[in-house]
Amino acid sequence: MAKKKPMKIATIGGGSSYTPELVEGFINRYDELPIKELWLVDIEEGKEKLETVGNLAKRMFKKANLPVEVHLTFDRRKALKDADFVTTQFRVGLLDARAKDERIPLKYGVLGQETNGPGGLFKGLRTIPVILEIVSEMQELCPDAWLVNFTNPAGMVTEAVLRHSDFRKVVGLCNVPIGMEMGIAKLLDVEHSRVRIDFAGLNHMIYGLDIYVDGESVKDEVIELMTDPDNTNFVKNIEGQEWEPAFIRSLNALPCPYHNYYYKRPETLKKTMESAEKEGTRAEVVQRLEKDLFELYKDENLNIRPPQLQERGGAYYSDAAVRLITSIYNDKGDIQPVNTMNNGAIASIPNDSAVEVSSIITKDGPKPITVGDIPIAARGLVQQIKSFERIASEAAVEGSYDKAVLALTINPLVSSDVLAKQIVDEMLEAHKDYLPKFFNR
């Protein structure tokens, strides 16, 4: 077999606190993924973070004795030129914008969260125009490259690329499925590599339809363990709340942590409001964590990913991302959950929509595995969120105020059109600097 050419990878949002984890993933899989150049791109406002993270990345590759060149730049086009893979992990408006996404809705008694409800809408409105610019530049400068997007809301972003461009080499990625696999491995006390879950749904709205250990279904055993109040290794969701046994038994599927916002709305809203009052919103907490992380990153003796990064959230992103890139590059044909075009995999979702589903990963990208359909109990909610994503992506592309109000009104976390309009009005004003399509008309 002919030796493959060395690779160039461009990471947009390279100054992110997550980047050392990504670098660790590249180091661990270097034998399969011979990277020659890693280009970390950011905006001038993030210069100090980019330099801090970039220098840590250089020290990590040096410690691993790997000949990887790390380039730091504000010039996105230079980074994209002839890239083999492009990863995106940026945040338009930085964490200050996320804090507004989380805090403003709480004033109206609505959940504030960066990927769900009003926060998800406005993160999408800020992000989608930038992603479409990146896609356009990729078509010109690296038309054969794959775009691997971790930027939230990953499902809405993938939907926008598929519907509002002719670029198809895009894969959306999330750490929730791999986190669910890790949780099941812990519950059953087995190695993660032995666990596989059949995933289907949307980003942050995904269900485990079946669960396997060594190829044998263990879903019934898992559901029994999850509904056993005496089980000390109980699978809990993101808020640490147990699911009602009758609900889980009847659903007969594994919900994801983000289902809290829909199936436990009052409890989750109460906890979120209490937490925001005591310690700040999640963005405000993360801002404090990141301050400490970047102080650690500046230590010239540090040449590994510090364990404190785990507290930042987003665990397993690097493993999911590098595993995906490795599988595309090596045409592995293994199964991974990704955001990709449905193509008939889920019967009740349009074929040309983005879904999150277990897929066979090949050199030609993901091939979604046909699951038939998701359980009837979950189908309506999934379709409602898909409608929200589609209308929201249209609002972002067109700069349409009316469609922004419509999108938020049909979101299940918002109870009326009047409330939706009030929230949209305040959040539009709060994010005015990052929403030029809505104001420059």
Residues designated catalytic: 258
Phi, psi of 111 (to 5 degrees): -60, 130
Give me the residue label for tokens 């959950």.
Answer: 337
What the block records as the tokens of 64 is 């691993």
CA distance 162 to 125: 16
What the block records as the tokens of 34 is 């011979």
Is 192 annotated in some ligand binding site? no
Is 152 annotated in some ligand binding site? yes
211 forms bridges with which residues in the sheet? 197
Is 204 annotated in some ligand binding site? yes
- The secondary structure of the chain, three-state, reads CCCCCCEEEEEECCCCCCHHHHHHHHHHCCCCCCEEEEEEECCHHHHHHHHHHHHHHHHHHHHCCCCCEEEEECCHHHHHCCCCEEEECCCCCHHHHHHHHHHHHHHCCCCCCCCCHHHHHHHHHHHHHHHHHHHHHHHHHCCCCEEEECCCCHHHHHHHHHHHCCCCCEEECCCHHHHHHHHHHHHHCCCHHHEEEEEEEECCEEEEEEEEECCEECHHHHHHHHCCCCCCCCCCCCCCCCCCHHHHHHHCCECCHHHHHHHCHHHHHHHHHHHHHHCCCHHHHHHHHHHHHHHHHCCCCCCCCCHHHHHHCCCCHHHHHHHHHHHHHHCCCEEEEEEEECCCCECCCCCCCEEEEEEEEECCEEEECCCECCCHHHHHHHHHHHHHHHHHHHHHHHCCHHHHHHHHHCCCCCCCHHHHHHHHHHHHHHCHHHCHHHHCC
CA distance 185 to 166: 39
Is 168 annotated in some ligand binding site? no
CA distance 57 to 68: 10
What the block records as the tokens of 152 is 């939230």
Binding residues for substrate: 98, 152
Binding residues for Mn(2+): 174, 204
Binding residues: 98, 152, 174, 204
